[in-house]
Amino acid sequence: MSAPLGRLKHWIRRTLRRLGLEVEYVGRRASVRPAAPTDAPVAPYLENPEQGPGNLAEKLQREAEGGPFEWPNVVALNRAVAGLVGDAKRLVELGGGTGCFAIVAARDETRTIVCSELDVETSRWAAEHRARANVTYVDRAPTADDGPFDLVVAVEVIEHVGDFAAFLRTCASLAPRALITTPNRTRGPKFDVPGPPPVAKHVREWTAGEFYWVLRTFYRTVKLYAMPNPFVPELVGVRITTKLTPLVADCCEPRSLH
């Protein structure tokens, strides 16, 4: 093993260990498992409890008080992600909420989109208010039988999920490519903390480097993007040291993980 590759694998292991995981390589195959106990004193990584799906009531309340139904930066992010879809025609979205991404992506009528949102009321609202002939809203987890799919999309979902490894395995099983976004933990001093995140609904947050290497455990190819202006739906390619937010990862070639 070359020295640079050895250092790289060491850094990957160290990053995953902070999240309570470790990666094991057998040839070119990688697997992730809970980290083995260690006698070395390690500061615990603290997370917020998972709160589950659903924020429709908050959106309706905000709108009733004269505010925006969807936050402008959230709308911009969904539009930016839709711009990365490219030639993919059969899409599945996880945690689609009120259909903010689906309604934009559906403008290309050659696409079909399955928008999964586990909160029943939110999914019903999206089906009623953002109906499109090429969008199917479901209030359950999608399966391979709903496909096949070219692309799985998850916008601002993974930071809300307790078992992110299971979530990424689901993404990798549904399609050969994924677009996954999350806020950058280094976006400001008050967010750049060991945990738990100051945003109570976020179970955990990652730096760009942490996010990249976690995703590389599940995908052979990961390209990172970010929005220089979170209110403008434009993305630029970034390095793992970036402090720009939100982060958008274009992931391809799922690994076989057991």
- Residue-wise pLDDT tens digits, 170-198: 999 999 999 999 999 999 999 998 889 99
Q: What is the mean pLDDT of residues 103-113?
A: 97
Q: Is 89's pLDDT higher than 90?
A: yes
Q: Which of 169, 122, 171, 130 is nearest to 151 (CA)?
A: 171
Angle between helices 208-218 and 3-18 (to 10 degrees): 100
In a domain, 122, yes or no: yes
Considering the domain boundaries, does residue 85 fall inside one? yes
What band does 110 get if pLDDT is binned at 50, 70 and 90?
very high
Helices (H), 68-152: 72-82, 100-105, 120-129
Is residue 73 in a domain?
yes
pLDDT of 30 over the 70 cut:
no
Identify the domain containing residue 120 by its residue range.
Answer: 53-254
The residue among 8, 7, 44, 16 whose CA lies nearest residue 206 is 16
pLDDT over 60 at 229, yes or no: yes
Half-sphere exposure of 111 (CA within 13 A, CB side): 25
Q: pTM score > 0.75 for this model?
A: yes
Quick check: 238 pLDDT over 80? yes
> Taking residues 133-148, what's their average pLDDT?
94
Give the per-residue pLDDT at 20: 66
**What is the domain count for the chain?**
1
- Tell which residue, 50, 56, 52, 60, has the closest CA to residue 123: 56
Decide: 219 and 254 in contact? Cβ < 8 Å.
Answer: yes
Flag whether 164 is in a domain: yes
Mean pLDDT, all residues of the chain: 90
For 232, the token pair is 């403008």
Residue 25 within any structural domain of the chain: no
Contact residues for 162 (Cβ-Cβ < 8 A; gap 6+): 47, 49, 50, 203
Q: If you average pLDDT over residues 4-16, what whole number do you get?
A: 66
Q: How far apart are CA 14 and CA 10, in angstroms?
A: 6
The CATH number covering residue 122 comes to 3.40.50.150
Single out the residue of 200, 90, 97 nearest to residue 149, CA to CA: 90
The answer to whether position 17 is within a domain reads: no
In a domain, 99, yes or no: yes
38 in any annotated domain:
no
Q: What is the pLDDT of residue 171?
A: 97
What is the spatial distance between Cα 165 and Cα 214, in angstroms, rounded to a whole number? 9
Rg of the chain's alpha carbons, rounded to an integer? 18
Specify the pLDDT at position 6. 65
Q: Which of 141, 189, 185, 193 is nearest to 159 (CA)?
A: 185
For 129, the 3-state DSSP assignment is helix
* H/E element, 25: strand 21-26
| Helix 164-174 with 208-218: angle, nearest 10 deg | 50
- Is residue 118's pLDDT more than 70? yes
CA distance 165 to 33: 9
Question: How far is the C-alpha of 98 from the C-alpha of 116, rounded, in Å?
Answer: 10
Torsion of CA 16, 254, 184, 82, to 10 degrees: -170
Q: What is the tens place of the pLDDT at every residue in 40-79? A: 565 667 899 998 887 899 999 999 999 999 999 999 999 9
